[in-house]
Amino acid sequence: MEPRPLLTGDPAQVGSYRVAGRLGQGGQGVVYLGESADGGRVAIKLLTRAAGEEDRAGFAKEIELARRVKAFCTATVLATGELNGVPYVVSEYVDGPSLARVLAERGPLRQAELRRLAIGSLTALAAIHQAGVVHRDLKPGNVLLGRDGPRVIDFGISRALDSSELTGDHLVGTPPYMAPEQFGGVGSGPPADLFAWAATVVCAATGKPPFGSGDLPSVLNRILTAEPDLGDLRGDLRDLVARCLAKDPAARPTAARALLTLLGHPVPPQGLLTEGTRSASPPSAGARIGEAPSESSPSTSVPGRRFGWRRLALVGAAAAAVLVATVAVTVTIKLARTTTVTGTAGTATATVATATATATGPSGSPSAASSGAPTVSVDEVIPTTATTTAKIPETKITLHENPADPVWVSSAYGVLPLGGGAPAYVRDAKTGKFEYFGNFQQPTVSPHGTYVAALSTTTLNRTDYNTIRLVTTATGEDVELRTADKPGDTIGTAWNADGRHLLMTIYTGKADSRTMAGFVIVDAATKSVRTRLTAGGYKGGYSWGPDASTLMRQERDGAISFVGLDGTVIRSFRGMGDLMHRSAATLRIGTETATVFSTVCPGKPRDVCLWDVVTGARKAVVPGDENTTFSGWLDSEHILALVTKGGTTRVVLAGLDGKTKRVLAEGPAKQLKATSLWYSWK
């Protein structure tokens, strides 16, 4: 489907995307073909100015639902925002026709291509359901046959803009694909999606839905009373489809159970979606379902999926529940603009002087969360008296603050609420209130709050490439940037002191032998991404060095290296212990000011040693004890630390002698252990 020319009044630019043509128009929105700065194709859905407040609210709600899932046999949401007060969403462009179009032009699917369609669409449903979302309108028109396999689209926007569910006097869905309970006022749940999936597979195999089509009363009567016509479907696929078309929703299998049935062999829960995606992919990268391989077929063998699709979708897929169980964070100390504080399964991050944090990510792989190395002046010293309190939502964690503080907790993630779950919150700079940001997100705010970068734990299950979510706070632009290709995971976010550049570490290898493989630097202002694969580095991740052109890492032999942005080693030091939360920090030590990096002191694992970044000379030792975990520097004269006694953990401001000057936050040890508090410059 080629785009149509733009009309007078159509935008030439939406966010950072150039508008290239029109793909379609509905009652309250227009879908455009867009291009990213690197030439990738995207689909842009822009509400019309005539859309009412209810439509806008529904649009925002569906975007939030879509953020829960990532792309397994679906299309990825790349960005959201507003253009002159009108909301928009940018999504991946899938280069392929709909199943409905293929059936109309070529007829029913057969054998292997039918099975790939069934597995791919079922994989998408399993992913959507794992994220707590229901599609509600699965049908041939909402399945695209891309060159890398089938994709399910339109679960979100269609519900917000063009929906039709049976709620009161309104019908939601497409009648020939709707389950009996939907006509009885019960509404849509996961079992209704399984019914629609089975009806879609029957249509793909026979050219018509199992209960026929025509006027609504006739279709409704057959769905409620008649047996489905399954045509010449055979074997396990026929049996599964029949079970999914049961009148009683309780008799239908879950999407995950149905997918296991089609795969035909045991698959660990954490690998189910990956195996489903693999099994749904065509044997030739250039041949989609419904099309024979051809030498002229465009290839999609490049890393990742092609950015291009024909209709807007707000679905992706991610095993969020599975991933949460595999991600634990362990933080020790941090010296950088971003300081991470924590116990064993979380981080509290502070961003002021210079801080570094070592976090244990998936399968025990360490990652850095750190920032640049600003010089802290005397007037930036944090007061030692708190005058106000604030609460982290849904928890018993209390923040003790002073309006004169140059830093505050700007985000909290991995939160363990009183009622369970894993929400993330970002603080509104104007009101000081914590606003819900999403589940399974790790948002970190840049110095002075211009940007919010968020890693989603669900991206760890992707098989194509890694992504980072970037929100511009002033405009609300919300983009998802592609970082490093798989295999390997991009973990940890470290803002530089300039508040513009973000550093992440690439890890490869199996769970028990994961090692550093490179780094990614994102320019938040231009939305550009630089990826560098490197041979050096062993554990703990990359962190910012004493300036924006230098990084730090620990080598396999224990040496600590300063590295240029091209990956070359500038200088190395040996015999200094394990590098801690890595960024270099400019601190006041005694009567002098020195730029240092921190390590666990050799032979004294409770103490922190500070070393000159140029000469390697030891500048100071910060003493520790069995109850205190040092977590970086909040200003030029004070450290950030965790103190746990009994069932309570406190985040404290302490002097170089280790004595507490002020409590910054406190709460149940279990909650603070599972929660990351991110401190940043106001």
**CA–CA gap between residue 78 and residue 36 (Å, rounded):** 10
**CA–CA gap between residue 57 and residue 10 (Å, rounded):** 23
DSSP conformation letters of 625-647: -TTEEEEEESSSS-EEEEEEETT
> Residue ranges per domain, the chain?
99-142+166-290, 323-681
148 among known catalytic residues: no
pLDDT at position 631, please? 75
Q: How far is CA 120 from CA 103, 115, 255, 256, 304, in A?
A: 17, 8, 12, 12, 17
pLDDT at position 444, please? 94
Determine the average pLDDT of the residues in 199-208.
96
For the cut 50, the answer to whether the pLDDT of residue 79 exceeds it is yes
- Out of 238-247, 423-432, 468-477, the most confident range is 238-247
Q: How far is CA 199 from CA 140, 192, 244, 333, in A?
A: 9, 11, 9, 56
- Core vs surface per residue 556-594: b (16+ CB within 10 A) or e: eeebbbbbeeeeeeeeebeebbbbbbbbbbbbbeeeeeb
Which CATH number is 99-142+166-290's, of 1.10.510.10, 1.20.1440.230, 3.30.930.10, 3.50.50.60? Answer: 1.10.510.10
Q: Token digits for 410?
A: 């700007």
Confidence class for position 394, pLDDT limits 50, 70, 90: confident
Alpha helix (H) residue ranges in 131-280: 157-161, 180-183, 190-206, 216-225, 235-244, 255-263, 272-280
What sign does the CA torsion over 93, 96, 100, 101 have? positive
- Core vs surface per residue 67-88: b (16+ CB within 10 A) or e: bbbbbbbbbbbbbbbbbeebbb
pLDDT at position 245, please? 97
Determine the average pLDDT of the residues in 577-592.
80
Q: Token digits for 396?
A: 């018993």
For the cut 70, the answer to whether the pLDDT of residue 551 exceeds it is yes
**Contact (CB, 8 A) for 202 and 233:** yes
- Pick the more confident residue, 107 or 331: 107
pLDDT at position 143, please? 92
Question: What does the pLDDT look like over 109-162, one tens digit per residue?
Answer: 988 899 999 999 999 899 888 877 888 889 998 898 888 888 888 754 334 333
Arithmetic mean of pLDDT over the chain: 77
For the cut 80, the answer to whether the pLDDT of residue 298 exceeds it is no
For the cut 60, the answer to whether the pLDDT of residue 550 exceeds it is yes
Superfamily of domain 323-681: TolB, C-terminal domain (2.120.10.30)
- Looking at 95, 137, 193, 478, which residue is catalytic? 137
- Pick the more confident residue, 71 or 547: 547
pLDDT at position 461, please? 66
**CA–CA gap between residue 489 and residue 516 (Å, rounded):** 10
Determine the average pLDDT of the residues in 664-680.
89
pTM above 0.85, yes or no: no
Distance, CA of 150 to chain centre: 22
Question: What does the pLDDT look like over 433-446, one tens digit per residue?
Answer: 999 888 778 999 99
